[in-house]
Amino acid sequence: MPLGAGDTKGNKDGGMKASGADWYKSIWDLSIKNMSWVEDTENQADFIIQTLGLTGTERILDLACGYGRHALTFARRGYAVVGVDITEAYIDDAVATAKKENLSARFILSDIRDVRFDNEFDVVLNLADGAVGYLENDEENLKIFDIAAKALKPGGSHFMDIINAAHAQKYFPKHTWAIGENEFSFAEFEWDPQKKIMLYGGGGFRYGEAAQKPAVPEGNPTRLYFIEELQEIYQQRGMQVLETFSDFYGKPASPGEMQLLVYAKKAEM
């Protein structure tokens, strides 16, 4: 999900309607490669390696891996990686790239809830939301944490990159924008405080192409979490939140920042 370089306050009355409950199954395509926020992938990998103290020998599971931008980046650095995503075009593209570059990366076309790993990975990633909060209700959304916890070896690390509910509660509705190398990206955010659901809509303008006035009639509903909620969710799964950040440069998490990075660890046996 794109996070803009700048932002402005949105319409307090809200203007988007929620997309269907299964929106996450069909909206994705490879045009996402042009979004400005994918340009920070190398720095994000650097930060994760430093924060988790990785040595290069770890086995990594990337949930909702998209077209493999993080998984492939780690594979290029010598890590053994498995990526899972629900979008066929993404998995096909990731497989083709891994094959072309002869990388130690395997990609699986699947709903995250259908994969079965047990104490197999040193690291599990959910990045650029990683589908956290995308599913049909709270019970379904918690299954992603179950999958991550079960997939980890004792002492393994979970790292995710989501949007902070504390920020949404204080600052939504709002607009954000970012200027990238290939495209100008924009996003709109609205908030339902009772359900803790964010509506997100956005798009982009490719440089050199005629621009039309954007319309965002629908927003993708996403369950956001407060840090206190996440601490309890992890605790119930034998894990502990070690650190939280608001960017991939180590800035501490706060309600004033939209991004929330969470580093949690599974208990040792």
The dihedral through the CA atoms of 251, 152, 126, 49 has a sign that is: positive
Confidence of residue 12 (pLDDT cuts 50, 70, 90): very low
pLDDT of residue 70: 98
pLDDT of residue 4: 46
Q: Is the pLDDT score of 260 beyond 90?
A: yes
CB 81 within 8 A of CB 70: no
Q: What angle do CA 176, 224, 4 make, to 5 degrees?
A: 15
How do the domains of the chain map onto residue ranges? 6-20+167-222, 28-164+225-266
Percent of the chain with pLDDT over 70: 90
> Taking residues 134-151, what's their average pLDDT?
97
Confidence of residue 184 (pLDDT cuts 50, 70, 90): low
Q: Is the pLDDT score of 213 beyond 80?
A: no
Residue 59, C-beta contacts closer than 8 angstroms, at least 6 positions apart: 79, 80, 81, 82, 120, 121, 122, 123
pTM for the structure as a whole: 0.89
> Taking residues 118-130, what's their average pLDDT?
98
* Cα gap 218→18, rounded to integer Å: 6
Q: What is the pLDDT of the chain when averaged over all its residues?
A: 90
Q: Is the pLDDT score of 55 beyond 90?
A: yes
Percent of the chain with pLDDT over 90: 72
Strand, helix or coil for residue 22: coil
- Lowest pLDDT segment from 74-78, 174-178, 204-208, 254-258: 204-208
The pLDDT tens digits for 214-238 are: 666 678 999 999 999 999 999 999 9
Read off φ and ψ for residue 210, nearest 5 degrees: -65, 135
Which CATH class for the 28-164+225-266 domain?
alpha beta
Q: Is the pLDDT score of 239 beyond 90?
A: yes
